[in-house]
Structure 1
Amino acid sequence: MKTARIPAANAKFELTDVEIPEPGPRQVRVRVHACGVCHSDVLTVIGMLGNSYPRTPGHEIAGVVDALGEGVTSWTVGDRVGVGWFGGCDFTCEACRRGDFISCENGQIPGIAYDGGYAEYMVAPAEALARIPDDLSHVDAAPLMCAGITTFNALRESVARPGDIVAILGVGGLGHLGIQFAAKMGFEVAAIARGTDKEPLAKKLGAHHYIDSKASNVAEELNKLGGAQVVLATVTVADAMTVTLDGLKARGQLVVVGAPSDPLQVPGASIIFKSSAVQGHASGTSQDSEDTLRFSAITGVRPMIEKMPLSEAQAAFDKMMSGDARFRVVLTMT
């Protein structure tokens, strides 16, 4: 089979032929049809989380079950499945014993703990798989396995309820999905981005309001709307997050899903007097991914994608890193 892998830390991708992997006990082999290119794939390239080399990145995987390892009874060959950031857990640590599988102390991530989806086949633990609805294509399903579940799950587990003002900070790979999910969940949606060029798209995706952070005071604009119950921060700029705090309602919540490189500054007065909170949010389990896929299928939420073949993995990765992709690059294996 063909795989696009990183031979050493900070090296370029190499497209090579390797043996098709065999699933071990409680594992499933997936024939990959599509794999999203996520910014977090850079972690594999630089080895930030300690992965070994050579390593095949990719944790936005969509395909079909190709073979079953010993003891797997929950899946059948031919099932349409996805594998996301949640790539398996140990079931024995304290977090798992409390049912918080995404917080597993020994949780696995495809493309880091084991080879991911930049390949024609990959093997994953059976618990990492999520079922893809029949009316959702593989190329649409792939980005939902990370960008999708991250925004969907963060919104549904936030303090916001239908009818509340929810602001989506950023209209990019995560934000363009966050706007759609928020609108379909019944929130009054305010999109926040720099400049006015993204306003037409934000409105088309379902935003009721648009705030140009370059030309206006974001907190003041949110307060004119009555204050945001939740601000979902999908950008990676810490200062852009901080300025939204004074635009939260009492007991509102800034939910951070974009990882800034600089420390996030949180003035005490901004959260004390309104009893508001700053909350980080991990993506979710395979069941959460399945919920995301099903919700997307029935409501029409879809990622904006650009397809590229596996043979152009380096170009696809470079395009994502440069910010030229609008909005998710998806590798296809056919």
Structure 2
Amino acid sequence: MSNIQGLAAHAAGAELLPFRYDPGPLGAHEVEIAISHCGICHSDLHLISNDWGISQFPFIPGHEIVGKIQLVGSEVRDLKMGQRVGLGWQSNSCGECEWCTKGLENLCLKSEATCVRRHGGYADRVRANARFVMPIPEALESENTAPLLCGGITVYNPLRSHGINPSSRVGVIGIGGLGHLGIQFAKVFGAEVTAFSTSAAKEEEARALGAHRFVNTRETRALKDLACTFDFILSTVNADQDWSIYMQALRPNGTLCFVGVPPAPVSVHAFPMISGVRTITGSPIGPPHRIREMLDVAARHGLKAQTERFAMGKVNEAIERVKKNKVRYRAVLSN
């Protein structure tokens, strides 16, 4: 098989340039995907800048991948040549630890990320263990589905794991790449949904996505008036907030869940947690079975990411638009 052609960062913060690599022999449990679409996730930007100190250069970013299988390993039984599939943040796990055997492969301490210390989806092809490659339901469009494979599961998994249902009152902080999906999934689960944003101009969009209420977080009084209102608040923002106000907005047994990463440590008083048995938690991506479930839910309920498409060769232009928060709400590269 010929070399894989992609667009790689050769140093921290550098623009992406054409890069070829030899993937070597296909593993018995692997498939090779001919990529049609790949979303741009904020995690890619962190990896390009080496903000987390785990990037090895040169490397090809990208982990919200949709395409068709063109090579199948000798031990792969449930995927076929030409099948349309998706691949997200995780591309392998040990398969043997406590977490893998419980179906929580996303918590495996030996998990492999699709574009950490290996090459990802800003390319013509990519490889992964077949267990982490998901068939895409026919009803879903590839462009709108690619961001679900990381951004979508990042918000779907905590909503599902915390039992969000028609009796739930849910708040979603931030109406961006993650938040616009969180609002949609919370609505699908039947919850009453409140969107929180610093931008009053996003109210109409938030309501169109399914929010029943909108709160401008620049209005401190509006936040304080929501004391003891929510069962679950999902924070999707990478910005510091007055988290104590959100803790007070929780009902007894309520949960504040982080999927965005604020720059400063999260600081709250212990008393609201003690008096109301309120919880602070976080959530990563979900395991393969939960991603398959999410895709099925999206297909049956017509849920999709709002996207802007860029040709793969325009990747640097697309990255700059994402950095400046000019994309509503997810950028997707196409071959």
Work out the CA distance in 2 between the residues paired with 1:115 and 1:240: 38
Residue-by-residue CA offset, 1:277-320 (whole Å, 9 max, x unaligned): 00111111222221111111111111110000110111111211
Work out the CA distance in 1 between the residues paired with 2:261 and 2:230: 21
Q: Are the counterparts in 2 of residues 307 and 332 from structure 1 also a CA contact under 8 Å?
A: yes
AA partner of residue 9 (structure 2) = I
Work out the CA distance in 2 between the residues paired with 1:9 and 1:135: 39
2:40 maps to 1:37:
yes
How many angstroms does 1:216 deviate by? 3.6
Question: 1:25 aligns to what?
Answer: 28
Q: Are the counterparts in 2 of residues 6 and 54 from structure 1 also a CA contact under 8 Å?
A: yes
Tell me, which stretches of 5 or more residues in structure 2 are unaligned? none
Describe how 1:76-155 pairs up with structure 2 within 5 A: 76-155=80-159
Work out the CA distance in 1 between the residues paired with 2:163 and 2:130: 32
31-40 vs 4-13, which moves further:
4-13
Q: TM-score, normalised by structure 2?
A: 0.94
Secondary structure of 1:222 counterpart: coil
Q: Are the counterparts in 1 of residues 8 and 61 from structure 2 also a CA contact under 8 Å?
A: yes
How many angstroms does 1:266 deviate by? 1.9
Describe how 1:169-180 pairs up with structure 2 within 5 A: 169-180=173-184
Secondary structure of 2:70 counterpart: strand
Structure 1 pair 191/110, CA: closer, same or farther in 2 (3 Å)?
same
Question: 1:165 aligns to what?
Answer: 169
Work out the CA distance in 2 between the residues paired with 1:195 and 1:306: 20
Secondary structure of 2:277 counterpart: coil
2:302 maps to 1:300:
yes
Q: Are the counterparts in 2 of residues 168 and 190 from structure 1 also a CA contact under 8 Å?
A: yes
Secondary structure of 2:11 counterpart: coil
2:257 maps to 1:255:
yes
Work out the CA distance in 1 between the residues paired with 2:27 and 2:245: 50
Residue-by-residue CA offset, 1:191-229 (whole Å, 9 max, x unaligned): 111131110001111111111111243543323xx6100
Identity of counterpart residues, as a percentage?
30
Secondary structure of 1:244 counterpart: helix
Q: Are the counterparts in 2 of residues 30 and 63 from structure 1 also a CA contact under 8 Å?
A: yes
C-alpha RMSD of matched pairs (Å): 1.7
Q: Are the counterparts in 2 of residues 59 and 111 from structure 1 also a CA contact under 8 Å?
A: yes
* Paired residue total: 331
- Where does structure 1 differ by over 4 angstroms across 4 or more consecutive aligned residues? 17-22
Structure 1 pair 271/234, CA: closer, same or farther in 2 (3 Å)?
same
Question: 2:79 aligns to what?
Answer: 75
Secondary structure of 1:320 counterpart: helix
Q: Are the counterparts in 1 of residues 48 and 55 from structure 2 also a CA contact under 8 Å?
A: no
Q: TM-score, normalised by structure 1?
A: 0.94
Question: 2:66 aligns to what?
Answer: 62
AA partner of residue 156 (structure 1) = R
Secondary structure of 2:39 counterpart: strand
Q: Are the counterparts in 2 of residues 83 and 145 from structure 1 also a CA contact under 8 Å?
A: yes
Question: 2:238 aligns to what?
Answer: 236
Tell me, which stretches of 5 or more residues in structure 1 are unaligned? none
